[in-house]
């Protein structure tokens, strides 16, 4: 009998649609995929070269459990350069991808029964990881009217004596929304007043459009900084999803708690990837700008095409590489392949009828929407959104 804890973790409800997409592709069907959660660019050459050099130089052994001093220094330099924040090296931990960082933070902070406040739409792994540490998720729902962002008042109303941790993710996966400095300041004031912690997931910080500014909540004063754990990594900005390097920056006692646990679970992240991550963070940043320019063009294109479709409403994402249109106007209609009642049936019939794969919003806690990743070529975007437009005309 497997453990109660493992049985509490649900296979993602959105998997049904992505499994179906994979089956269709295997059968040779021409499926357009908008599901990808990763950039479609290759890791830049100078970063790859650093990984290759690490292998050739024999840097293939254990490192310190929470990462090389050289990498922690590169992270500290990055946090000073981009956020104006000073972190000592023992306040930084390097982990096996930002997903692992998020898990470590939860395990370091949350006791059984503690409440973790999660704004929805949320990244799918947050609530499942809360279950892994026996915490209780408290979901704060938002919709397009508030640009999918929580307010300080909403947070204040959700706080109970059991509240322990708030999760913030700006720019957001799945909505692409970015919190302004003022919005974050109001949230920080509530956090400090109640003395809860904040996990600030900043993995999309470099992917910003239309002059949007990334602010880390940790920048907003000493008190909030003490309560914040920044999570970041190299996966998205440097197209390094397979290298598995994420990191945390926090007060030293949380970093030490993470270090204790990591030393008995994964130990160090791959040594080779760590050397490549040093190059990513401290080397030439031009490839990030190049990728950003491509994403910006695709973003304009997908928004233009989506907004030409009657009945689709899509806010302009200010960051990341996702569009999160509202599709609930079609619930209650029927597609040639069956009735549409929610985001899962919408995406299922879209896939069957138009051969376009999107992720149902319910997986992110927002059943009125679907997520489309624009980490694909302009030709793919044109073809895919064109298919959606033709398919919605068949709904009755
Ligand atoms: C919001 C968010 N946080 C963290 C991660 C995890 O990143 P990594 O691939 O470094 O584990 C992702 C990846 O999809 C993400 O979207």
DSSP string, 239-261: T-TTT--EEEE--HHHHHHHHHH
User: Is the minimum distance from the CB of 367 to ligand 1 under 6 angstroms?
Assistant: no
User: Is the minimum distance from the CB of 171 to ligand 1 under 6 angstroms?
Assistant: no
pLDDT of residue 13: 67
Rounded CA-CA distance 276/278 in Å is: 5
Q: How far is the CA of 99 from the centre of ligand 1 (A)?
A: 5
User: Is the minimum distance from the CB of 207 to ligand 1 under 6 angstroms?
Assistant: no
Cβ(142)–Cβ(120) below 8 Å: yes
CATH 3.90.1150.10 domain span(s) along the chain: 4-42+287-391
* pLDDT tens column, 66-104: 999 999 999 999 999 999 999 999 999 999 999 999 999
* pLDDT tens column, 291-309: 999 999 999 999 999 999 9
Q: 250 pLDDT exceeds 90?
A: yes
* pLDDT tens column, 350-370: 999 999 999 999 999 999 999
CATH 3.40.640.10 domain span(s) along the chain: 61-282
Bond before 171 cis per omega within 30 degrees = yes
User: Is the minimum distance from the CB of 241 to ligand 1 under 6 angstroms?
Assistant: yes
User: Is the minimum distance from the CB of 119 to ligand 1 under 6 angstroms?
Assistant: no
* pLDDT tens column, 15-73: 777 788 889 989 999 999 998 888 999 999 999 999 999 999 999 999 999 999 999 99
Rounded CA-CA distance 258/92 in Å is: 10
* pLDDT tens column, 253-276: 999 999 999 999 999 999 999 999
Architecture of domain 61-282: 3-Layer(aba) Sandwich (3.40)
Q: How far is the CA of 259 from the centre of ligand 1 (A)?
A: 20
- Counting ligand 1 atoms within 8 A of each CB, the residue from 236, 246, 247, 319 with the most, and so the one to mutate, is 236
Fold assignment, 4-42+287-391? 3.90.1150
Closest of 160, 231, 161 to residue 200, by C-alpha? 231
Q: 14 pLDDT exceeds 70?
A: no
Q: 12 pLDDT exceeds 80?
A: no
């Amino acid at each position: 009998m497997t453990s109660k804890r493992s049985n509490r973790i649900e296979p993602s409800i959105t998997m049904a649609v992505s499994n179906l997409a994979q089956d269709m592709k295997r059968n040779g069907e021409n499926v357009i995929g908008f599901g990808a959660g990763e950039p479609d660019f290759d890791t830049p050459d100078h970063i790859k070269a650093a990984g290759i050099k690490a292998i050739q130089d024999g840097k293939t052994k254990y490192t310190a459990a929470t990462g090389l001093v050289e990498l922690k220094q590169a992270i500290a330099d990055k946090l000073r350069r981009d956020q104006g924040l000073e972190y000592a090296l023992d306040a930084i931990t390097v982990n096996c991808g930002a997903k692992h960082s998020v898990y470590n933070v939860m395990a370091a902070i949350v006791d059984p029964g503690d409440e973790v406040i999660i704004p929805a739409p949320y990244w799918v792994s947050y609530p499942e990881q809360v279950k892994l540490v026996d915490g209780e998720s408290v979901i704060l729902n938002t919709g397009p009217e508030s640009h999918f962002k929580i307010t300080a008042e909403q947070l204040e109303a959700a706080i109970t004596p059991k509240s322990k941790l708030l999760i913030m993710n700006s720019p957001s996966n799945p909505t692409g929304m970015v919190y302004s400095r003022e919005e974050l300041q109001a949230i920080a004031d509530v956090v400090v007043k109640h003395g809860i912690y904040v996990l600030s997931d900043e993995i999309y910080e470099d992917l910003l459009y239309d002059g949007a500014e990334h602010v880390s909540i940790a920048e907003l004063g000493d008190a909030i900084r003490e309560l914040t754990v920044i999570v970041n990594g190299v996966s998205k900005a440097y197209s390094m999803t397979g290298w598995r390097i994420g990191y945390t920056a926090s007060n030293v006692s949380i970093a030490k708690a993470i270090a204790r646990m990591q030393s008995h679970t994964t130990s160090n992240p791959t040594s080779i990837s760590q050397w490549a991550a040093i190059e990513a963070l401290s080397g030439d940043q031009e490839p990030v700008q190049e990728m950003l320019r491509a994403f910006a063009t695709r973003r304009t294109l997908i928004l233009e095409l989506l907004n030409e479709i009657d009945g689709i409403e899509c806010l302009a994402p200010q960051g990341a590489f996702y569009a999160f249109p509202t599709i609930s106007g079609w619930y209650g209609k029927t597609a040639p392949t069956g009735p549409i009642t929610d985001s899962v049936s919408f995406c299922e019939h879209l896939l069957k009828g138009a051969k376009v794969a999107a992720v149902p919003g319910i997986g992110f806690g927002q059943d009125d929407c679907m997520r489309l990743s624009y980490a694909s070529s302009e030709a793919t975007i044109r073809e895919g959104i064109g298919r959606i437009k033709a398919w919605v005309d068949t709904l009755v």
